[in-house]
Chains A and B, each alone.
Chain A
Amino acid sequence: MEGSNLLLPGYLSVGLFMFIVGVVGVIVRRNPIVIFMCIELMLNAVNLTFLTFARFRPSPALHDVADPQIYMSGQMMVVFVMAVAAAEVAVGLGIIMAIFRLRQNVDVDEMNLLRG
């Protein structure tokens, strides 16, 4: 049982690590597309954490109920995060395109005007 006890912290630390890498990437990189990727990284890290808890800690009071329908909330969250992430990527990349067309440059540090 020792191994199974290590699983939960392991999954959580992978999620945490990916999240931190995403955060640091947003700060470190100047390429907006890479920044975007880092954001996706963070979203996925959160998804992983959601699933981990949904799997190992579904609902402490109901451990012995066999119906899977009452443990669905974690997976539902992941579904919606994915949907939102998809929409976000579509719009975000559209914005990057629009900015590039306007300025022929995609350095985040030069996008410091609050107008087009």
Chain B
Amino acid sequence: MDLPWTLIWAVLALPLVGSIIQAVMGGRITRNGTDEAGKRLMGFLAVFFVAVPFVIAALLTLRLTNLSPADYPEPLEAFDWIALKSMRIPFELVIDPLSMTMTLIITGIGALIHLYATGYMAKEKDYARFFTYLNLFIAMMLILVLGNNLLMMFIGWEGVGLCSYLLIGFWYKDVANAKAANKAFIVNRIGDWGFCLGMFTLVAFLMANAGQAGIPADLRWFSYDVFLPNCVVLLQQNPGVATAIAIFFFIGAMGKSAQFPLYFWLPDAMAGPTPVSALIHAATMVTAGVFMLNRLHVLFELSPVAMAIVAGIGAFTALFAALIAFGQTDIKKVLAYSTVSQLGFMFIACGVGAFWVGIFHVITHAFFKALLFLGSGAVIASMNHEQDMRRYGNLGKYIKVTAFTMVIGWLAISGLPPLSGFFSKEAILGGALGNQVAVIGDVPVGVIAGWIALAVALLTAGYMTRLTFLTFFGTKEQWRLLPAHEDHHEAHHAEDNSHDHAVHGDHGEDVHGFFFSDKEMATRHAEHEHHHDLTPDHTPKEVYPSMWIPLVVLAVLSVAGGILLNNNHLLQHWLYPHGLTLIPHEAVDGHPKGWVGQYLLLMGIGAGVLGMVWGYFVYRNGLPKDEKDEDSWKPWRRSANAQFGYDSTIMDAGVTGGGMLANLAWWFDSKIVDGLVNGIAGFTGGLGRLFKASQSGYARSYALMMLFGGLAIVLYFVYVANSLGGKV
């Protein structure tokens, strides 16, 4: 059965409809979160409006796989969004392998996480609000990947940013969450700045040089199928412009995908509910940058320098985040840094020209990272919302399904064959070590990035082993050792970087003054409502089926996804070629020459195994003594915990520096700009006061003035007459 392509609109519309239904009727049906049956209905609807698009998208993808690239459907236009004399931006969707792959991930993983969330959020009062945001997020993400022009991508780009903000700050009464949401939103704005600059530069350049490439007949300057071919013609002669545009877009990707200078919002984003962390901050939204690089790969391929920068930043981020992960004690924080690190891997892949590998890793990472996050959520739920790994231990005994699935996730991310992570990681390492594309001058940045990636693979296996053993294995059940009445305020929302710690520690001082006064901060803390005590006699219980079913599905995908997609280069041939690759396939075929190529497989597996073995020996008995409390930590772990000081430095610099800048601007505005404006007003007022006296209202004064005027005119005539020689 061939579905009509236009059904793609339904894929886009259904989550939006779902969101509106949740927003409009959710509160009433769930009786503000008190009615269990209403919650069940709304939960079902939330999943339904994501699952149905998945089915449709899957059927459409099936139809697409049977076509040759030449037969792919034209972009589907709905209406003209912006119509100018020289430019037209329609609301249009594109159906091609890339957009459909992303659509499948978003709706598929999205549906599973929605299902999980119905269980995870079961006790939540604002049930419908949560699913309103979550459905809206799916709709926005679909606009991002399905839109056929840069501006539609930008709608989605901003829309997912908004949903991310709303969901991080979902429990907005806790000031730490609200601050994390603000941080994410503000840091993302920096990326959006780059995105906008890239977009404007690109289109301005194309339109200015339209003479060479030809003005598109339907004026859709922003549409991919129009400007990408034009870019090939124009930008090849202007490598400088190409590099600038590519780097601008990469700045956008840095913000959204949490790459090095702008990564620091993502760990804080873990303040949101765990399903959000899994869906938005691991599986889908943060991969938007990788998607964008794939979508605009022509731009990047035109500039080797930009490619090298992408690869270099990716490699550095991967290493940096992996090191930080060792210093974290919060289970979600470890996963967050792991996500940053894995995103770095994806950018390495894109940077060395193996764009399809980037998407491959997006897919496998979506499987196993969503699995790990959901698993961690299950652990947290079963441990009375305790997130500190140092209070876990031997949980495998109590929550068997969760433990089993998370072990699979651990093995997958560590790159053990034949799990999914292994294939994508091998492809990245092969592509990076074998490439000749990402080169600045004589420095083979791509190859260096490949070696760094190999080291990071080792580290990844190490910190994931640490997480797994601290949580599920070991001999001691650490929470049994807790004193009976301890305040876990801090542990609950574990703010692991130093400056946030200070803020959270003394409960009343908002160091950076984001938006609350001290007094408000104090009241907010008093309202702290998600506080449950973990007591020594607590017995962890397995979570609801609605929560572990997605875990099982994701575990199966984590195991099998890699083999299925890599079989006969399935994904590679599916995604590529799609028309415009400039880099020949041989350059990124993933088979480095010489000894590196021969031992690549061995090195990749070896790195993972080595990391796991190291982790096993360190953590096989549970929590080592020197990690127990922070006083006994080694200096390197302490500094890793504080993100090597990066976050606090940048926040201080940003906030203090920003404050100084704002003060300067304020001074300029109040003194000079206002002075100018007020000066003009004052001058006019003074003139008015001066002449007010003349407007006395006395008719005779006016007559006198008329007389003055008449006299002046007559005198002027006299002067003229005299200057003419006295002749009238």
Q: Say if the two chains contact directly (CB < 8 Å).
A: yes
Asked if residues A108 and B700 are in contact (CB atoms below 8 Å), the reply is yes
Q: Please give, as numbers and ranges, the residues of chain B lying within 8 Å of A109 by CB-CB distance.
A: 698-700
Q: Please give, as numbers and ranges, the residues of chain B lying within 8 Å of A113 by CB-CB distance.
A: 697
Q: Please give, as numbers and ranges, the residues of chain A lying within 8 Å of B699 by CB-CB distance.
A: 108-109, 111-112
Is A30 interfacial (CB 8 A cutoff)? yes
CB of A33 to closest CB in B, whole Å: 14
CB of B74 to closest CB in A, whole Å: 71
B681-722, CB under 8 A of A: which get 1 and which 0? Answer: 000000000000000111110011001000000000000000
Asked if residues A27 and B698 are in contact (CB atoms below 8 Å), the reply is no
A16-30, CB under 8 A of B: which get 1 and which 0? Answer: 000000010011001
Asked if residues A27 and B697 are in contact (CB atoms below 8 Å), the reply is no
Asked if residues A26 and B703 are in contact (CB atoms below 8 Å), the reply is yes
Q: Please give, as numbers and ranges, the residues of chain B lying within 8 Å of A108 by CB-CB distance.
A: 698-700
Q: Which residue of A lies closest to B711 (CB)?
A: A23
Query: CA separation between A1 and B373, bound complex, in Å?
Result: 125
Asked if residues A27 and B696 are in contact (CB atoms below 8 Å), the reply is no
Q: How many chain B residues touch the partner (CB < 8 A)?
A: 8
Interface residues on A, range: 10 to 19
CB of B727 to closest CB in A, whole Å: 15
Query: CA separation between A99 and B700, bound complex, in Å?
Result: 17
Q: Is the interface of A mostly helix, strand, loop or mixed?
A: helix
Q: Which residue of B lies closest to A26 (CB)?
A: B703
Q: Please give, as numbers and ranges, the residues of chain A lying within 8 Å of B703 by CB-CB distance.
A: 26-27
Asked if residues B707 and A23 are in contact (CB atoms below 8 Å), the reply is yes
Asked if residues B700 and A112 are in contact (CB atoms below 8 Å), the reply is no
Asked if residues A112 and B697 are in contact (CB atoms below 8 Å), the reply is yes
Q: Please give, as numbers and ranges, the residues of chain A lying within 8 Å of B707 by CB-CB distance.
A: 23, 27
Query: CA separation between A26 and B704, bound complex, in Å?
Result: 9
Which residues 661-699 of B sit at the A interface, judged by CB distance below 8 A?
696-699
CB of B391 to closest CB in A, whole Å: 85
CB of B590 to closest CB in A, whole Å: 91
Query: CA separation between A30 and B700, bound complex, in Å?
Result: 8
Asked if residues A112 and B696 are in contact (CB atoms below 8 Å), the reply is yes
Query: CA separation between A37 and B455, bound complex, in Å?
Result: 111
Query: CA separation between A113 and B700, bound complex, in Å?
Result: 14
Asked if residues B696 and A26 are in contact (CB atoms below 8 Å), the reply is no
A32-45, CB under 8 A of B: which get 1 and which 0? Answer: 00010000000000
Query: CA separation between A23 and B699, bound complex, in Å?
Result: 13
Query: CA separation between A112 and B697, bound complex, in Å?
Result: 5
CB of A5 to closest CB in B, whole Å: 17
Query: CA separation between A108 and B697, bound complex, in Å?
Result: 10
Q: Please give, as numbers and ranges, the residues of chain B lying within 8 Å of A111 by CB-CB distance.
A: 699
CB of B674 to closest CB in A, whole Å: 36
Query: CA separation between A87 and B255, bound complex, in Å?
Result: 85
CB of A26 to closest CB in B, whole Å: 5
CB of A87 to closest CB in B, whole Å: 21
Q: Which residue of A lies closest to B710 (CB)?
A: A23
Q: Please give, as numbers and ranges, the residues of chain B lying within 8 Å of A112 by CB-CB distance.
A: 696-699
Query: CA separation between A27 and B699, bound complex, in Å?
Result: 9
B1-36, CB under 8 A of A: which get 1 and which 0? Answer: 000000000000000000000000000000000000
Q: Please give, as numbers and ranges, the residues of chain B lying within 8 Å of A35 by CB-CB distance.
A: 700
Mark A residues whose CB is within 8 Å of B. 23, 26-27, 30, 35, 108-109, 111-113
> With contacts A35-B700, A108-B699, A112-B696 known, what are 8 further pairs, Cβ within 8 A?
A26-B703, A27-B704, A27-B707, A30-B700, A108-B700, A109-B700, A111-B699, A113-B697
7 A/B residue pairs, CB under 8 Å, sorted by A? A23-B707, A26-B700, A27-B707, A108-B699, A109-B699, A111-B699, A113-B697
